[in-house]
A and B are shown apart, each in its own frame.
Chain A
Amino acid sequence: MHEEDRQLVRTLIAGDAAAFRNFFDDYFPRLFRFIVRRVNGDEESARDIVQSALIRAVRKLDTYRGEAGLFTWLCQITRRELADHVAKSVRRETYMRRLVDLEDDPESRATLESIPACGEAEPEAVRQREDLSALVHTALDYLPNQYARVLEMKYLEDLSVEAIAETMGVTAIAVQSLLARARVAFRDVGETLLPSLGGFT
């Protein structure tokens, strides 16, 4: 059970404005990236799809039970919106083929779903394995937000463990533990998305 996600949903249902800000700021960018890759970078379409998906999600928040991570749940809704969008699109055949790829990749799905709060498999990334940046970004989006955040602070912002601890409001030991778990989770995703290259490392 994803108790942290359930708690966030409970506070959203209660009308907590801060919870809404956290929810939106955390999930919107990840869902937007999730979709924009699938519509060939068409940001207007991605905006429409993610907006429709999030509106649908807030209407049915009370159906979220926490069996899957919240991101996974949102991805499912967003994927249905994408399917609706594709059905209306002249490019239907191309996109549907990609969606089928997603459903036909059980190994990717199993690995990704085994990660806490992880999303669905990534057809674009699987199809474009040579695009390492896209894959790394995809992998980070799949991770729980605090995993991705700590990895970016450590390796992109070059912050010390102590500085990260101060930023996150936790102890340095907790940051080290979080970093260790984040590295393992990141490598798990990397090996799934890039098996022929032995993962990211």
Chain B
Amino acid sequence: MERRKDEAPTDDLAQVIRRAGRRPAPAPEIQAAVRAAVEREWTGQVSRRARRTTILLRIAAALAAVAVGVSWHALRPGATADPVAVGTFVAARGSVHIAPVAGRDWVVAGSRLDAGSSIETGPSGYVLLTVARVAMRVGPGSLIDLERAGHVRLVRGRIYADSGSPSAPARALVIDTAFGLVTHLGTQFQVRVGPAAMSVSVRDGKVLVSRADGRAFTIARGQGLRVSSDGGVNRLDVTPYGTDWAWVSEFSPSFPIDGRPLSAFLSWYARETGLTLVLPDPGIRAELDRTILSGNVIGLSPAQALAAVMATTRFEYDMNTPGELRIEIRATGGAT
């Protein structure tokens, strides 16, 4: 018996959909590359429209000001636009200039950073902030613009980004430079921009570098990319530790040790420095978990914090093997 279309049992339909399986998804690299290129164009279009609108608003405002004797300054677009929060200030050290700051004349930890904010650091300046839930560090001699949510323009200097563990949810963060877009795919990397070149180094996870000419490069852990102003692109091998990363540890968030196991502190230190935590004796892991720390290491660099913490325990560390942080039980002495 023929059945009406809307009366057909759903079993057949379910079967056919199940047999077909999931629709194939484009490769993440392709998706990220196209997204970066299209987003760049979209951003440009939005900016151009905004500029046109601003010009028209200014003309209208000037005419209105003449007519009613109102100050032009009261009508400038920035006076009425709703600011969009795109980041959060965490801490700074040395010579730093941040402008504008939402709602006040100074910044404190937790201050909101709006779209349009810029951060400039002097020769001794460091800034910690979060953008798109990614922890970022701005090194000395840098200038960045927080253009909009998840989009940071690195004009010059250096940025380090860390989105947490590889299993953390994906973050939509793009570092925009004159040499190309660096799209964050997770989880730890740095970008440096100078007058003649940009370099990208990945400590963990991977990033995508997209050039304006459509070329895209996926850079994974232990890899780097140098893009020159003449268009030259070179892949590099990089270590996740060492002098290239030293500035990252110069000013870093303190690890709250009070009440935390030593194992957590050591994992944090290894992540901060790009080292691999090595426990020659597997039984040490449980002991590290059982060793609970107290006090704090506020104001200490990671290296100083490591020395201070380990001195209070029955463990000792060894970093003589490049790239490794080896932990062993001290032969004699120690406490906690």
**A residues lining the B interface (CB < 8 Å):** 12-15, 17-18, 20-21, 24, 28-29, 32-33, 43, 47-48, 50-51, 54-55, 58-59, 61, 132-133, 135-137, 140-141, 151-152, 154-156, 180, 183-184, 186-187, 190-191, 200-201
Which of B8, B31, B151, B172 sits near A28, CB closer than 8 Å? B31
Which of A17, A20, A21, A28 sits near B34, CB closer than 8 Å? A28
A155 to B37, CA, bound (A): 35
Asked if B33 is an interface residue, CB under 8 A from chain A, the answer is yes
Asked if B186 is an interface residue, CB under 8 A from chain A, the answer is no
Q: In the complex, which residues of chain B have a beta carbon less than 8 angstroms from the beta carbon of A29?
A: 23, 25-26, 31
Asked if B108 is an interface residue, CB under 8 A from chain A, the answer is no
A55 to B50, CA, bound (A): 18
| B35-A141 in contact (CB<8A) | no
**B residues lining the A interface (CB < 8 Å):** 5-6, 8, 10, 12-14, 16-27, 30-31, 33-35, 37-39, 41-42, 45-46, 49-50, 148-151, 172, 214
A200 to B19, CA, bound (A): 11
Contacts between chains A and B (CB distance < 8 A), count: 108
| A186-B13 in contact (CB<8A) | yes
A141 to B46, CA, bound (A): 29
**CB closest chain-B residue, reference A20:** B42
Q: In the complex, which residues of chain A have a beta carbon less than 8 angstroms from the beta carbon of B18?
A: 155-156
A21 to B21, CA, bound (A): 25
Minimum distance in angstroms from A190 CB to a CB of chain B: 8
| B148-A15 in contact (CB<8A) | yes
A48 to B37, CA, bound (A): 11
**CB closest chain-A residue, reference B36:** A51
A187 to B27, CA, bound (A): 29
Which of B16, B23, B150 sits near A141, CB closer than 8 Å? B23
Minimum distance in angstroms from B218 CB to a CB of chain A: 14
A156 to B22, CA, bound (A): 7
